[in-house]
Structure 1
Amino acid sequence: MSTESTTSSGDGFTHLAGDGSARMVDVTAKSPTIRSATAEATVLVAPPVLDALTGGTVPKGDVWAVARIAGIQAAKRCAELLPLAHVIGVHGATVDFEVAGDRIRIVATTRTADRTGVEMEAMTAASVAGLALVDMVKGLDRSVELTGVRLLVKTGGRSGTWRREGAADLEGARDHG
């Protein structure tokens, strides 16, 4: 078992010890800073499903509320799902939806004042909100598809702000439900 320090391996991979074994990066010496991240996911649906969603007639109930709460809950439990993710305080989480054509765009934003970022929390929120949406409508159409999970923006920390080139307008998400 390695007792190597918590600096990165010689190759610059911070989650690998010098012997190549996986490890959690030690962030205890870092100072907490305000950080945020926004991610998106897309759920592709057939026209009848979209009609049921926008008309509020999905047999399982309030899809928007269930998906929103699932996403927020997932953001808070990210470290339980990803073995090397840090347990951090998720101090803010929003999940919003934009309906356009044959798709629902899910936009999740997470915020913290902690030692490490919330990118994985935002992507987990968007993913799980999408999975909840799929679960709620799969009885209407088994071909519903979750796709396009990706980070759009992150702020704070040592590396500052990063924005995906060509990312859609983050203010465009409409709140359904």
Structure 2
Amino acid sequence: MLSHIDDQNNPSMVDVSAKQPTHRTATAQSIVVLPDAVMQLIEGEELQSKKGPVFQTAIIAGIMAAKKTGDLIPLCHPLGMENCSISIKLHADNQVIIECTASITAKTGVEMEALVGASLAALTIYDMCKAMSHDIIIKETKLISKTGGKRDFNRA
């Protein structure tokens, strides 16, 4: 049974009122593939553009987006996250690996917040680099792990 459909087959927010709060975490990952022309501009662990430091800006954008997940996705519970962190690391094959981890003690999980945070960080990298090249690929976004609630999940 789908959790966001009521017994009359109408969209419905999941009722979490009877649930007990538990500590919940979620980590999501997005991968951005940058062309060589953009990769050549990386100095150390940062990519500078005319708009400013790309990775630092993407981290801030991702955290801001994760905090607004309940406003962006219909039927998603608005949550006051206790923590959200984003890491951006360079990998082989011109890949930029973005990981967003969100946590909260609540009646519902933070998977969507982690997925939105990673996604918006990836989109920010695209936006800040598109003047250098449009040959940028946002390869994938996926849930890596979650804890708390009915069942834990770990892709690894």
Q: Which TM-score band (shorter chain)?
A: over 0.9
Report what 1:54 is aligned to. Answer: 43
Against the structure 1 CA distance between its residues 57 and 73, is the aligned structure 2 distance closer, same or farther, given a 3 Å change threshold?
A: closer
Instruction: Indicate yes or no: 2:68 matched with 1:77.
Output: yes
Please give the alpha-carbon distance, in whole angstroms, between the structure 2 residues aligned to 1:57 and 1:41. Answer: 20
Deviation at 1:158, TM superposition (A): 2.1
On the 8 A contact 1:15/1:25 being kept in 2, the answer is: yes
- Sequence identity (%): 36
Which structure carries more relative contact order (alpha carbon 8 Å, separation 6+)? Answer: 2
Equivalent runs, 1:6-21 vs 2, <5 Å: 12-21=1-10
Instruction: Indicate yes or no: 2:87 matched with 1:96.
Output: yes
Where structure 1 has 5 or more consecutive residues not aligned to the other structure, the ranges are 1-11, 168-177
Please give the alpha-carbon distance, in whole angstroms, between the structure 2 residues aligned to 1:155 and 1:18. Answer: 29
Deviation at 1:26, TM superposition (A): 0.9
Report what 2:30 is aligned to. Answer: 41
Task: Pick which of 55-64 and 72-81 moved more.
Answer: 55-64
Please give the alpha-carbon distance, in whole angstroms, between the structure 2 residues aligned to 1:119 and 1:135. Answer: 24
Report what 1:114 is aligned to. Answer: 106
Counterpart amino acid of residue 103 in structure 1: Q
More strand by percentage: 2
**RMSD (CA atoms):** 1.2
Instruction: Indicate yes or no: 2:129 matched with 1:140.
Output: no
Counterpart amino acid of residue 96 in structure 2: I
Larger gyration radius, structure 1 or structure 2: 1
Report what 1:156 is aligned to. Answer: 148
Against the structure 1 CA distance between its residues 57 and 17, is the aligned structure 2 distance closer, same or farther, given a 3 Å change threshold?
A: closer
Where structure 2 has 5 or more consecutive residues not aligned to the other structure, the ranges are none
Please give the alpha-carbon distance, in whole angstroms, between the structure 2 residues aligned to 1:14 and 1:83. Answer: 13
On the 8 A contact 1:40/1:152 being kept in 2, the answer is: yes
| Ranges of 4+ aligned residues in structure 1 off by more than 3 Å | 53-57
Please give the alpha-carbon distance, in whole angstroms, between the structure 2 residues aligned to 1:16 and 1:142. Answer: 40
